[in-house]
Amino acid sequence: MQLYNTLSAEERAIMIDDAGQQRLTLSFYAYAKIQDPQKFRNDLFVAWNALDALGRIYVASEGINAQMSVPAENFEAFRETLEAYDFMKGIRLNVAVEHDDHSFLKLTIKVRHKIVADGLNDDTFDVTNIGVHLKAKEFNEILDDPNTIVVDFRNHYESEVGHFKNAITPDVETFRESLPIINEQLKDHKDDKNLVMYCTGGIRCEKASAYFKHQGFKNVYQLEGGIINYAKQLKEEGLESKFIGKNFVFDNRLGERITDDIISQCHQCGKPCDNHTNCENDGCHLLFIQCDDCKAAMENCCSTECLEIIHMPLVDQVRLRTGKQVGNKVFRKGKSENLKFKHSGELPETALATAQKPADIRQKIKVKKVLLGKAEHYYVKVQVGQFTIENQELNSGDKILISGPTTGEQELVLNRIIVNGAETQSAKIGDKVTFEVPFRIRLSDKLYKIVN
């Protein structure tokens, strides 16, 4: 029984493109008492893997939190896998405003202590005593009430590109940081104000609303289904958007446009821009906003230091990042002294520009490549890799890509190849090929030829 991914993200992307089927990006969550989270996780993986459902899902004894990509033709079958559990019957699925077939490229289901890292001791208050859920029309109406305080329970890099007008936008990197900050900031308004909160899909507010009611706030409200569901209701009901800008999302799209207003700036040059990217340097991966001009000039890098690093030999790049933990910077941090036009905390509500066309929500131009074969062996002392050619020819001078879950994506130009023990200029299907590789490869690695 398969319980884990066997394909790399790159292989999955190729399969999705070849299939040519529309996929839907969606999210959902449910708080419930789950007796055996590991078994629940495994059962979900088997069911969803059979439907080609992909995504990032967290499971805990308190429930499930999921962001996913599902083939449109399998949508109803996917819903049936949820309806099999009593606590997910009739569950609301937040379907994205904008779709991208590559929003998720793996099915990752992890068992965690909590489905959202909130830092709270749930035993100290009633987590089911939540705030009043408001639909889009009701949310708009309560925002017009002068006795309303609206709070954004997302992180600084999310609110920077889009938020509700007049919202408090805490300068935080994690959800757990915002709770005590807001509690202290609003402690004098527990009786006389409407505390109205929102987040991306509603899950953070579900716990936060119960926490603030426990703290003594009398009038607590939350946006049902978060910004994602709000945007959907705007279109269905023709409502005015009180949200301005773009909604940050936690998948490969990195954003859905709600209004055409651009309220943030390129962090490098200051031009109006709200497109996030991750630094190209594998030893950095800093999340930041970058315009097309800076993207071209800086080659997707956040600084001149990172730009210099990506042009180093691969073996030197690997040496520089050995032992460093940088993965969290992808969806955290987002702050650096190199980012001169970064804003957080109190944010503007005046549009700096208008989006002229839908933004390209892919971070990188897709590399066209053809799968050639797989890794067979790596000779550490001489730094030589051996591969079996299973598809098409490989020639001296070809630009190749070696890809794997640990190796990542590494590009090389072949100056010299050994085929079946003899130096030659080309290799055919079935040949064993060896050539110099300045980094360690694994048996799970695949060999591609870059064709663009």
Residues marked active site are found at 199
Looking from the CA of 41 toward its CB, the CA atoms found within 13 Å total 20
Strands 446-450 and 369-379: antiparallel
CB atoms within 10 A of CB 312: 13
Which own/partner pairs from 175-184 qualify as long-range (CB within 8 Å, at least 24 positions apart)?
A: 175/116, 175/117, 175/118, 175/204, 175/208, 176/117, 176/118, 176/119, 176/120, 178/153, 179/118, 179/119, 179/120, 179/208, 179/211, 182/151, 182/153, 182/212, 183/212, 183/215
Sequence-separated (6 or more) residues with CB below 8 Å from residue 111: 37, 38, 41, 59, 60
CB atoms within 10 A of CB 299: 13
DSSP for 232-247, please give it. HHHHHHTPPP-EEEEE
Closest CA to 228 of 263, 262, 257, 264: 257
DSSP single-letter state for residue 58: E
CA separation, residue 47 to residues 1, 80, 117 (Å) = 11, 10, 26
DSSP single-letter state for residue 328: G
Find residue 208's DSSP bridge partners. none
Residue 358, token pair as written in the block: 């839908």
